[in-house]
């Protein structure tokens, strides 16, 4: 096989879930069926690296020093919601129920995968939380054990800053019936039940 083609296949293998077989298929597809699409893809990737940086305020990808969302005066800058990934931000925006700011960790603490506080640049989050406008930090990491550990770590990390710290609620999915709920969710819902009187 040509070395150039081999390099392309090797490069495609960096995508998650792509092994040698799919990489070979993708390479032939790009070269043979869709050369324009392939050129666009190559350019977009190069462009992203040239122009995209991280927002100083929320750590999301953006082309300016501070992203549009963070520089929007209509947002409530007294609450900061800490999330794992940019896709989580899109989910919260879809709720139309949160108007504060975000901080994106770009992952979660997962010591068994070698991801500790340094790999997630937790010191940048600490610096961000120092902002005196911020009164409340909402921790919205996933409800996996790694997400919970990340939440514990952040709580310890920022506790000397004297902010209100909250964790998003968990429990039964909205509109769900107990009969059809998975046992784990139900076990946790009864054990972490909320007082209502």
Partner 1 sequence: MKRVEDHNIYILHTYPFKETSLIVEALSENFGRISLLAKGARRPRSLLRGYLQPFQMIQATWSNVSDLKTLYNVEWNSKYLGLKNQALICGFYMNELIMKLLPKDESSNVFFNFYHQQLEELSLNVGYESLLRLFELKLLEELGYKVNLDEDENGNPINPKKFYYYEAEYGASLPDVSTNGVKIIGQTLIDMHNNDYSHLNTLKQSKLLMRYLMRFYTGHDLVKSKELFLTNDR
Minimum gap (Å) between residue 163 Cβ and partner 1? 16
Q: Least separation, in Å, of the C-beta of 14 and partner 1?
A: 14
Exposure b/e, 138-157, CB count within 10 A at least 16 = b: bbbbeeeebbbebbebbeee
| Interface pick for partner 1 out of 132, 156, 177, 179 (rule CB under 8 A) | 156
Choose the one of partner 1, Zn ion, none that binds residue 30, judging by a C-beta under 5 to 8 angstroms depending on kind: none
Of the candidates 195, 190, 147, the one whose C-alpha atom is nearest the C-alpha of residue 167 is: 147
Question: Both ends of the chain: CA-CA distance in Å?
Answer: 73
Return the number of the residue (78 or 110) whose C-beta is nearest partner 1.
110
Q: Which is nearer to Zn ion, 70 or 120 (CB)?
A: 70
What is the rounded distance in angstroms from the CA atom of residue 32 to the CA atom of residue 24? Answer: 12
55 binds, among partner 1, Zn ion, none (CB under 5 to 8 A by kind): Zn ion
CA gyration radius, the chain: 21
Instruction: Report the residue number, 69 or 149, with the smaller CB distance to partner 1.
Output: 149
d(CA 25, CA 20): 9
Q: Choose the binding region for partner 1 from 32-40, 100-108, 133-141, 185-193 (rule: CB under 8 A).
A: 185-193
Kindly state the smallest distance separating residue 193's Cβ from partner 1, in Å: 12
Helix spans in 130-195 (H): 145-158, 183-191
Which residues in this chain contact partner 1 in the complex, by CB under 8 A?
16-17, 19, 109, 111-118, 144-145, 148-149, 152-153, 155-157, 182-185, 187-188, 190-192
């Amino acid at each position: 096989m040509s070395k150039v083609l081999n390099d392309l296949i090797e490069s495609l293998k960096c995508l998650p879930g792509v092994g040698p077989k799919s990489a070979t298929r993708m390479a032939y597809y790009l070269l043979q069926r869709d050369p324009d699409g392939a050129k666009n893809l190559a350019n977009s990737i190069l462009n992203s690296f040239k122009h995209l940086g991280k927002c100083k305020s929320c750590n999301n990808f953006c082309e300016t020093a501070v992203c549009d969302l963070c520089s929007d005066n209509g947002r409530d800058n007294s609450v900061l919601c800490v999330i794992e990934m940019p896709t989580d931000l899109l989910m919260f925006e879809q709720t139309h129920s949160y108007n504060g700011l975000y901080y994106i960790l770009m992952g979660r603490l997962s010591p068994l995968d070698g991801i500790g506080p340094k790999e997630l640049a937790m010191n940048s989050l600490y610096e961000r939380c120092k902002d005196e406008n911020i009164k409340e930090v909402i921790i919205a990491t996933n409800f996996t054990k790694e997400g919970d550990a990340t939440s514990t770590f952040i709580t310890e990390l920022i506790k000397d800053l004297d902010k209100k710290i909250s964790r998003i609620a968990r429990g039964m999915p909205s509109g769900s019936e107990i009969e059809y709920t998975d046992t784990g969710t139900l076990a946790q819902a009864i054990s972490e039940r909320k007082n209502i009187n």
